[in-house]
Chain A
Amino acid sequence: MILPFVLISLLGIAARAGADPGGTLNLYNWNDYFAEETLAGFQAKTGIRPRLDVYDANEVLEAKLFAGRSGYDLVFPTARPFAARHIQADLYRPLERERLTGLTRLDPAIMSALEDIDPGNRHLVPYLWGTSGLGIDLEKVRGALGDDADLDTWALLFDPDQAAKLASCGISLLDDPSEVFAAALVFLGKDPNRYEAADLESAAALIRAIYPHVRYIHSSQYISDLANGELCVAMGYSGDVAQAQARAEEAGKGVRIDYRLPREGAAVWTDVMAIPRDAPNPDAAHAFIDYILEPAVIAAISNAVYYANPNLEATPLLEEAVRADPGIYPSAEVMTRLFVIAEREDAEIRALNRLWTRLKSNR
């Protein structure tokens, strides 16, 4: 009974080994972060066979990179603080920029912002960017707080009175202490990147106060729960909330989800492409980056995953609903209120993570 299976799988391996004239490209990306046709299009164009593994946390990618010999040719970390740290630890291979003809299409403002962590843009190419704000079930929140409720504020989460009223329809937080503390700090009117012990303590006290009203802390569960009405306020990433919005519309049960960027300020982040120093096939990785730099390719990805891209020539190719969505491409006025979460000392990160564990477990 086992023998036929062994034979079949051996045949499969043999068949696969024979069918790769262009070699294999090992990609390691976030889940649901390509359009459906992205990989097939690359293979049709180059003959290189892409293989995709996915992760749902920067930390998982980071552990593999630091352990070494991950076997991946191209990875998609968040620029700050992650890719910044990886460049310091010399984990990435410098790009052969002359092979990336499409680099000129990228927004110079985003490229120059990346120079803070990657001088000369030697290692990183921006992929998509987004923000961290609030996913809101309009009807439920207005039902709990009244029709004239102010929805553009972190107070929905961090004001204990409002959080208490929203507890029964469900509140969730991202499981990422630097995001949650940054939001709590701007709500308190503090600088989200200045880690004074006293500020941190007041932010922790705030989170502790609303904690009993939080249904759960998770970084992706809210997508489906917002869509099917199990949550009414979720701290979430712009594109993920937009995906929840689309799913809610598809389901047609009358759930309407809105994405808001609180006026106190919200985090903006960029995910980048980088080639690990020990990548087995850096040639294929360069070919893939150049493929992503094609306006039609990245526009299709933005249309599918609802995250903004840095490619100026791709903007006319976006669907109207994506380009005009202020949750995906915020207005210039809103952009001035966004901030980047900066790198910190390792000791600070560890202290923050341990504080987070304590908060979550109520110890």
Chain B
Amino acid sequence: MSKNRARALIRLGHWGRPLTIAIPYLWLGLFFLLPFVIVLQISLAEPALTQPPYTALWHWVDEGLLEIRINLMNFRMVWDDSLYASALLNSLRVAALSTLLCLLLGYPMAYAIATAPERWRVILLMLIVLPFWTSFLIRVYAWIGILKSQGPLNDLLLALGLIETPLTILHTQTAVYIGILYSYLPFMILPLYANLSRLDWSLLEAAADLGCRPFGAFLRVTLPLSAGGILAGSLLVFIPVVGEFVIPDLLGGPETLMIGKLLWTEFFSNKDWPLAAALAILLLGLLLIPFVLIQRLEQRLGGQP
């Protein structure tokens, strides 16, 4: 190694650390903290017939006299009106059940891919990722065609003689679950696959040698070792589903009251940006709870990703 290069490395070492740390912080500050502060500021304003449609939080009354006006009614309204609580609860329930369904369906798929022969794995992974090449919106629209009462699914079931009259699936909660399960399954499979493909399979052989049946070995070896993948996949599904708007709007019926739709109503129909912002802040706070819990859990698991 030449002297110059060594010196360059030392110099980089000096500035490199703060620089590499600064970049992600800058990113977070610019694309997370700043938007958050803007939304927080709107949530403390009052709606007004101006452009933009809310009041400013402060203005200079006189030289040296700053008037600050903070409105907490939005948070109170969300708290007082049971509509918001029930929409939040329903969103959490839908997200929890969807996550569970994704896990039940995604785990065997990820397991099968991870244990498939090497040359098959690439193809199988491609099949999981390939739908992303089509726009998400178009894929959800496609489900409208599939699920409607004169659609191919009902035609098939009728032809097979499994049903007498077409099932009403579209615009029900069931359609919402189908749409979510379809759209979010890859987000469960991919982290699970990443985890399972690194599993040390000799541990299972050892378990078999010591007389453990395959199912027991799965429960006592594979499952605990893949906890990190399960957590990562569950978070990737749960968090976006809570705020999901497109799928319930297109596939759901009126009884599918989710927080995303309520946000839309407040923002568009009611032109009440402050209340919509307050709802968004509360949603964010609510979603932080599972995050913190899971981080604690991961630490207890020994920092395994």
Q: Which A residues have a C-beta under 8 Å from some C-beta of B?
A: 57, 59-60, 62-63, 65-68, 85, 88-91, 216-217, 228, 230, 346, 349-350, 353-354, 357-358, 360-363
Contact = CB atoms under 8 A, between A and B. Distances in A.
B271 A63 contact: yes
B52 A363 contact: no
**What are the 6 closest A-B residue pairs judged by CB atoms, nearest first?**
A361-B257, A59-B268, A360-B254, A66-B53, A89-B49, A350-B270
A66 B270 contact: no
Chain B contact patch, size range: 20 to 34
Contact of B47 (A67, A346, A363): A346
B254 A216 contact: yes
A216 B171 contact: yes
Contact of B268 (A57, A357, A363): A57
Given A85-B49, A216-B171, A363 B86 contact: yes
A216 B253 contact: yes
B36 interface: no
A79 B262 CA distance: 26
B26 to A, nearest CB: 26
23 contacts: A57-B268, A59-B269, A59-B271, A65-B51, A66-B51, A67-B51, A68-B52, A85-B49, A89-B51, A90-B51, A91-B51, A346-B271, A354-B81, A354-B270, A357-B257, A358-B83, A360-B255, A360-B257, A361-B87, A361-B255, A361-B257, A362-B254, A362-B255
Contact of A346 (B49, B83, B149, B150): B49
A357 B171 contact: no
A217 B271 CA distance: 21
A29 B124 CA distance: 45
A26 B263 CA distance: 28
Contacts of A354: 81, 83, 270
Given A66-B52, A88-B49, 7 more contacts: A63-B267, A89-B51, A216-B254, A217-B254, A349-B270, A357-B262, A361-B255
A68 B271 contact: no
Contacts of B171: 216
Nearest to A228: B150
Interface in B221-263: 253-257, 262
Which of the listed residues A60, A67, A230, A350 has the most CB atoms from chain B within 10 Å of its own CB? A350
Contacts of B256: 361
Contacts of A59: 268-269, 271
B255 A353 contact: no
B175 to A, nearest CB: 12
B134 interface: no
Contacts of A350: 270, 272
A62 B268 contact: yes
B299 interface: no
Chain B interface main SS type: loop
A357 B51 contact: no
Contacts of B253: 216
Given A216-B253, A350-B272, A357 B83 contact: yes
Contacts of B47: 346
Interface string B75-105: 0000001110011000000000000000000
A67 B254 contact: no
B50 interface: yes
Interface in B51-84: 51-53, 81-83
A353 B87 CA distance: 15
Nearest to B50: A89
A361 B254 contact: yes
Contact of A353 (B81, B82, B150, B265): B265
A57 B50 CA distance: 20
A324 to B, nearest CB: 34
Nearest to B144: A221
A363 B83 contact: yes
Nearest to A276: B51
Nearest to A217: B254
A90 B271 CA distance: 16
B142 to A, nearest CB: 16
B268 A60 contact: yes
Given A216-B171, A230-B149, A358-B83, A66 B271 contact: yes
A283 B255 CA distance: 47
B51 A68 contact: yes
A118 B155 CA distance: 54
Contacts of A62: 268, 271
Identify the interface centre among B255, B256, B270: most chain A CB within 10 Å of its CB: B270
Nearest to A85: B49
Contacts of A85: 49
Nearest to A346: B47
Contact of B270 (A65, A353, A363): A353
B21 to A, nearest CB: 32
Contacts of A68: 51-52
Contacts of A89: 49-51, 53
Contacts of A353: 265, 269-270
A67 B268 CA distance: 11
Interface string B197-233: 0000000000000000000000000000000000000
